[in-house]
Amino acid sequence: MSDDPPNPYLSGLFAPVHDELTAYDLPVTGRVPDALRGRYLRNGPNPLRVEDPGSYHWFSGEGMVHGVRLRDGRAEWYRNRWVRSDAVAGQLGEKLLHGPRHLGMDFAPNTHVQPFAGHLLALVEGGSLPYELDPELYTIGPFDFHGTLPGGLSAHPVLDPVSGELHAVAYCWAWPYVQYVVAGTDGCVRRHVDIPVRGRPMMHDFSLTEHHVLLYDLPVVFAPHRSGTSFPYVWAAERPARIGVLPREGRAADVRWLEVEPCFVFHHMNAYDDGPGGTITVHLVVHDRLFVGGRTEPGAATARLERWDVDLRAGAVRRQVVDDCPVELPRADPRRLTRRHRFGYAVRERAGTGAAGPHAGSSHGPAGGLGAAIVKYDLARGKSEEFRAPPGGDIGEGVFVPSGPWAAEDDGWLLTLLYEPVRGATDLLVLPARDLAAGPVARIHLPVRVPLGFHGSWVPDEPPPRA
């Protein structure tokens, strides 16, 4: 018997579930607001089989989408489904879906799930195609934007609330490229720009404003020969850190590169500008370093919320710390994306390797929680408030849903998954965005534990009007 510690990504709250489930008429504590008519969906890694548990990393597990259907004050169903790449379908003994491929890659996207142009897309980065799902989370197959997508896509496209177009910055590790892609409301790519970059940078996210695209070319690269582990991304200290500014309708030659201090950005909250040649403001979560010497265990790296002002006239980037406590998974009101916003949300992380770290335990349930609280930021007043998870619990990314199409920016609810240690299962919380500290107006009790995952969306029954 080995004395090696278990892989934290396969144990505790990270541990995968082994069954697909459908449950109807879920019990609710409180009341689901009548205005919530749609589906809350969240994607995350849930490996079917792991050949080498010691080398497994969270990022590499096949995607499983979890969903809750809300309507008429009720929680009608919960279901979870693996995304059926051919590899997943084969392991489940099902008919292979086949379909288009990019560079022959076949991966069940595990990072995000987002609606666009009548399609529901499971998303991942690195060159694989999105996979389309039906309303009950069954896989339709790979989606290449009706044959118009020139490569892979991104885990973090931005849906412009004004135009309805989908913008993405895609990269590929197998055949190095960076592409800025714009898809129209017909679901077809209308333009793409190939952007030369050196090496194979990990570009997990990008930022979009009314007039500009921000590209993050930072010192994390795909270099499996350097990592010393099976995890292929490493910190490349010799690589300059820079951000690129591309006009929305510009060409590759129009990208303007500005140097920043070495750091890494997984996620931004939102970005906006004051005109085509002025200042771009972006709120984003910044890691000082990441993947130094190979993979980073959960809880070992912390990041802070910063505001960056990209002064195009001066050719400089000014950085200001908004919150020096560790946070991740920032979000904003989707109606405010690309425009000035006042409020934002993030998950307060459990930092370090002590009681809240990756191998921590609890008398109430599994080990390894990451999310200690949901934080709401009032960026205009420099204030914040939070709703905390109970001891032994864990809280995930918050998804803002307005109370109506023309409601104020913080008039609505945050939907988030909370592991409830007393039940040993997960609740979907409906938190009032204007008063997080008041606690949830509804707790929807799911029949299972939902493993820790990444990103999700609210898919309303009626598409919202454009901002």
pLDDT tens, position by position, 178-207: 999 999 999 999 999 999 999 899 999 999
Residue closest to 112 by CA, chosen among 463, 467, 461, 458: 458
Residue closest to 464 by CA, chosen among 112, 161, 228: 161
What band does 4 get if pLDDT is binned at 50, 70 and 90?
low
Which token pair is 303? 């990041």
Name residue, tokens 């002590």: 354
pLDDT in the model for residue 360: 31
pLDDT in the model for residue 14: 95
Name residue, tokens 């997990």: 204
Residue closest to 267 by CA, chosen among 312, 242, 309, 303: 303
Please give the single-letter amino acid code of residue 260: V
Could you tell me which residues come within 8 angstroms of residue 287 by beta carbon, excluding any fewer than 6 positions away? 263, 264, 265, 266, 301, 302, 303
The Cα–Cα gap between 207 and 221 comes to: 19
| Least confident among 72-81, 172-181, 319-328, 395-404 | 172-181
DSSP letter at 225?
H
Per-residue model confidence as pLDDT tens digits over 74-111: 999 999 999 999 999 999 999 998 899 999 999 999 99
Checking if the pLDDT of 361 tops 70, the result is no
Query: Which residues lie across from 247 on neighbouring strands?
Result: 212
Name residue, tokens 């690309």: 338
What band does 319 get if pLDDT is binned at 50, 70 and 90?
very high
